[in-house]
Amino acid sequence: MASPLTGPEIERLIDLLAKLPGLGPRSARRAVLHLIKKKEALLIPLARAVSDAAEKAMICSVCGNVDTRDPCTVCCDQRRDVSSICVIEDVGDLWALERAGAHKGYYHVLGGTLSALDGIGPDDLSIGKLVERCHAGEVKEVILAMNATVDGQATAHYITDQLETAGVAVYRLAHGVPVGGELDYLDDGTLSAAMRAKRLV
């Protein structure tokens, strides 16, 4: 921008918001105008909320979830099935599975996937900690819920190897037709996988 249109504090807020995923410079500008219009209802509460989150957010030392306590809310939930750990790439995946109510055990966030291209090796992910947890006793099953990408699947293979001596059953998620999905829009790989895994009704 050649000459500033508005105060430096507002420009700075726009610049920072524009760095969020899903927002660009234009939508950040619109968001900031919206915030300033709703100063009492939105901007001031947001100021407090961002400060609180900055102060209190932490990573769970057990599973890698993001929370304001350590161990996190999920790890502290005694009603969960201690024999089952679901391994995911990222915290967002944990939240997605929890929203779906799809898993009743505990979780383990890897923090990414192995990637030769990006130079991410086993030591960059919390795989060692996962192996430790599995050797510690109560765990009977590990569900590898990595993304169905090349890197995700390579990571799953690697973890399966690492867990060979841990005496746990290792599962992966089923492949198939997404619920609500239309066959015509699915890729060949998904269709083939769904056909191979066909089930008696």
Instruction: Tell me which residues in 43-82 interact with a second copy (CB under 8 A).
Output: 43-47, 49-57, 65-69, 72-74, 77
Determine if 34 is a binding residue for a second copy (CB under 8 A): yes
* HSE-CB for 92 with a 13 A CA cutoff: 2
List, in sequence order, every residue forming a beta bridge with 67; answer none if it has no partner: 58
Task: Pick the stretch among 20-28, 165-173, 183-191, 193-201 that binds a second copy (CB under 8 A).
Answer: 20-28
Interactions with a second copy, residue window 145-184 (CB under 8 A): none
Q: For residues 190 and 176, what is the distance between their CA atoms, to the nearest angstrom?
A: 6
The DSSP 8-state label assigned to residue 29 in this structure reads: H
- Would strands 58-59 and 66-67 be described as parallel, antiparallel, or unpaired? antiparallel
Round to whole Å and give the CA distance between 86 and 98: 11
- Helix, strand, coil percentages for the chain (3-state, nearest 5): 45, 15, 40
Residues 80-109 contacting a second copy, CB under 8 A: 90-92, 94-95, 98-99, 101
Q: Is 35 a residue that touches a second copy (CB under 8 A)? A: yes
Q: How far is the CB of 92 from a second copy (least distance, A)?
A: 5
Contacting residues toward a second copy, per CB under 8 A: 1-10, 12-13, 16-17, 19-23, 27, 29-36, 39, 42-47, 49-57, 65-69, 72-74, 77, 90-92, 94-95, 98-99, 101
